[in-house]
Structures are given as structure tokens and as C-alpha cells.
Amino acid sequence: MEQKRIGVIGSGSWATAIAKIITDNGHPITWWVRQQANIDYFIKRKHNPFYLRNAYFELQHIRFSTDIKAVVEASDIIIIAVPSIHIETTLASLDAADLKNKLVVSAVKGVLPVHNILLNQWLEQQFNFPLASYFTLLGPSHAEEVAAEQLSYLTFSGLDEATTTTIASYFKSDYINTIVNNDVIGVQYAGVAKNIYALGAGIVHGLEYGDNFLSVYIANCANEMQVLLKEIATQKYSGAHTSNHNSDNFCAINHNASVYLGDLLVTCYSLHSRNRTFGNMIGKGYSVRAAELELNMVAEGYNASKCIHTMNQTLNVKLPIMDAVYQVLWEGAAPDTTFKELEQILV
């Protein structure tokens, strides 16, 4: 198999975990890091100055750069691992020619908040980038556990199974199992939805509900997420006009798999989950702004809740749990009253 050149864009916790997986497997990467000072620290100390500081790297496998165009030019496979709110500014210097004949792998679990669209849709609009060259890297995989080499499962999605399998092969290791599917649109919206539900799970914990109620809440989230994914597959809102994304094939998708239900469970339950942590602060009475300052990291579910609310003006599907989270975060609804009302409709 011909060795593909791999570029990583981003230097947060998940980007750092991804870089660790690939370089642990002996594959070289070109790594875009925004600040030269952070690169200098990394080279001196062999670890990220801010994230996953216990993860050390063999630097002979890494070429750092602050020049994103140079990183893209030097790569066949470009892994984008920055928060969705930073996508536009991060990729602002690129043009369509830079991405021609490249493969893009999205490790983004969010919707671009200004546009309410997925990364693949934005790339198509801005760069005429084809869905056939776009892949996703998702699944229940907290960066902290990946860094500690605790077994994790990653699902790679793409329209072409052979190419998707090739990309996944760079990640397969003793502590990473890889899965391949072709539900490119569905897995992304599942990644968006689970962050919103995790915010709600945090609110539930902050309001001092117990594990019994939390289990009921998450079970209902799983059902609501499936309703949302089916509606997206049925309607043309996804923008994916391929035979892989329609209601006929929807029934063949196993939504109990790790990239759907598994990711929902870990994000709602785990103490590593920044969305759950953010929601917990809201449930305890923090304002949104105070929670943002305290967390000092991006909780993707916050902007995602507004995006899905806006998007649902077109879809027009019943999403009572997502609506409850949106009302608390964006309309100032009282968490205790809002979730008291939610209690009455859960099954």
C-alpha cells in the first residue's frame, strides 16, 4: 500500500490525541499549530504545552508548521480537528486549488454555527469540495483515554469503502479498534446531537437528579436522536444526494453501534465530557457566560443546540429534549422548571 502523507490541523486535546495515534503507528505527519511559541515548547519538551501534557511524542515523526497552506500542500490526507466555531478562521487562507485532489477527514463534532451546516457542506460551498473525497472520524473516544492508551473504538465513514478502509488503517493499533461505514451525514449529526444531550445530562446532574432518572433521560435521548437522524435522511436538508442517504437505507443502519449510541452514552456519563461538565454548571446555577469562563474550553453542544433549533424550523420534527436544552441555554428558561416539565413526557 502506498504511504499517504498525513496532515493534522489543530492542536487541542483531540488533535493531539489523533497525532499520537498516527505517530505511535510510525506514520509521519505534518502538523499545523497556530502559534510558533507552542511549537517551540513542543520541540523542547516533547509534549503539548496545554493539552494532554502526559502524552509524549517521538519528534522524528513530526514536522510542525504555522503555515496552513504549506501543511495542506505537503499532505494527501488532511485531518481537521479544530472546534467548529474556529473552522472558518482556521481555513480562511485556503482556496479551492489547495484542496484539489486531497482527502479531507473531519474529526469535528459540531455544526458551523453561523451557517448551521456541517463541515462537508461548507467545504462544498466554499471550495467546491466533493463529498466523495470527504471522510469522518468519530466515535466514543475521549482524548484523555486515548492519550493513556486505553482501548477506544473509532468509526471512519466515507462513500468509498476501500478508501475509507485505507484511512482507517493508519489508526488501527493495540489501543485503537477501527470500524468503517458509509453513513457520512448521519454520523456527523449523531456527533452533533450527542453533545446537546450531554449538556442536558449535565444539567440533570447539577439539579441533583439521581442515576435512575439519568438512565431514563439517556434512553429517551437515544430514541429522539434516531427520530432526528431518520428525518434528516428522509428530507434533502443534509445536502447529500446519494443513494447512501435516504429513508430506504436508514433502516439498515445500526444506531446501537458505537458511533451512535456508544458516543451518546460516554458523552452523557463520563467525567471527561466537557459538555456534561458545562451542563452541570448550568444546573448548579451558573450563567452561560460564567460556565464558559470556568470551563475555558469549547463545549460544542452549546452552539449546536441553537443550530439544531434553527435547522428544525425546516425539518419540523418533535425534539422535546433538545428544545429543553435550547430553552435553558439560549432563552434563559429556568433549568429546574424546564426539566420538571420534561419529566412528564419521558417514557
Q: What are the tens digits of pLDDT across the range 69-121?
A: 999 999 999 999 998 889 999 999 999 999 999 999 999 988 898 888 999 99
User: Among 182, 207, 234, which residue terminates a domain?
Assistant: 182
Domain CATH for 51: 3.40.50.720
3-state secondary structure of 157: strand
Number of C-beta neighbours around residue 211 at 10 A: 9
Number of C-beta neighbours around residue 35 at 10 A: 11
How many helices (DSSP H) and strands (DSSP E) are in the chain? 17, 8
Q: Which amino acid is at 91?
A: L
- Per the structure block, which three cell numbers stand in for 196? 446537546
Do both 163 and 282 map to the same domain? no
pLDDT at 236 (0 to 100): 54
Output the pTM of the full model: 0.91
Query: Is 156 within the bounds of a domain?
Result: yes
29-32 and 62-65 beta bridge pairing: parallel
DSSP output for 290-320: HHHHHH-S--HHHHHHHHHHHHHHHH----H
Question: Residue 268 to residues 9, 205, 275: CA-CA distances in angstroms?
Answer: 27, 10, 8
Number of C-alpha atoms within 13 angstroms, CB side, residue 120? 28
Do both 45 and 59 map to the same domain? yes
Do both 36 and 178 map to the same domain? yes
State the alpha helices, DSSP H only, in 207-262: 211-234, 247-250
Length of the chain in terms of residues written? 347
pLDDT at 249 (0 to 100): 64
At 134-155, the pLDDT tens digits run 999 999 999 999 999 999 999 9
Query: Which residues sit opposite 9 in a β-bridge?
Result: 32, 80
Q: In this structure, are residues 111 and 137 in contact, taking their beta carbons and an 8 Å threshold?
A: no
Do both 150 and 90 map to the same domain? yes
Average pLDDT, the chain: 92
Low-confidence ranges of the chain (pLDDT < 50): 237-245
Phi, psi angle pair for 177, to nearest 5° = -100, 140
pLDDT at 243 (0 to 100): 42
Do both 125 and 221 map to the same domain? no
Do both 91 and 228 map to the same domain? no
Q: In this structure, are residues 111 and 117 in contact, taking their beta carbons and an 8 Å threshold?
A: yes
Do both 174 and 194 map to the same domain? no
3-state secondary structure of 116: coil
Domain CATH for 272: 1.10.1040.10
Do both 148 and 42 map to the same domain? yes
Query: Is 35 within the bounds of a domain?
Result: yes
User: Among 132, 151, 182, which residue terminates a domain?
Assistant: 182
- Per the structure block, which three cell numbers stand in for 238? 443534509
176-181 and 152-157 beta bridge pairing: parallel
User: Among 182, 211, 227, which residue terminates a domain?
Assistant: 182
Query: Is 59 within the bounds of a domain?
Result: yes
Q: In this structure, are residues 79 and 103 in contact, taking their beta carbons and an 8 Å threshold?
A: no
pLDDT at 113 (0 to 100): 83
The total number of structural domains in the chain stands at: 2
At 164-191, the pLDDT tens digits run 999 999 999 999 999 999 999 999 999 9
Do both 288 and 201 map to the same domain? yes
pLDDT at 218 (0 to 100): 97
Query: Is 105 within the bounds of a domain?
Result: yes
- The boundaries of the domain holding residue 104 are 6-182
pLDDT at 248 (0 to 100): 55
Do both 335 and 262 map to the same domain? yes
- DSSP state, residue 258: I
pLDDT at 240 (0 to 100): 46
Query: Is 1 within the bounds of a domain?
Result: no
Do both 125 and 21 map to the same domain? yes
How wide is the angle at C-alpha 322 spanned by C-alphas 123 and 302, nearest 5°?
55
Do both 42 and 129 map to the same domain? yes
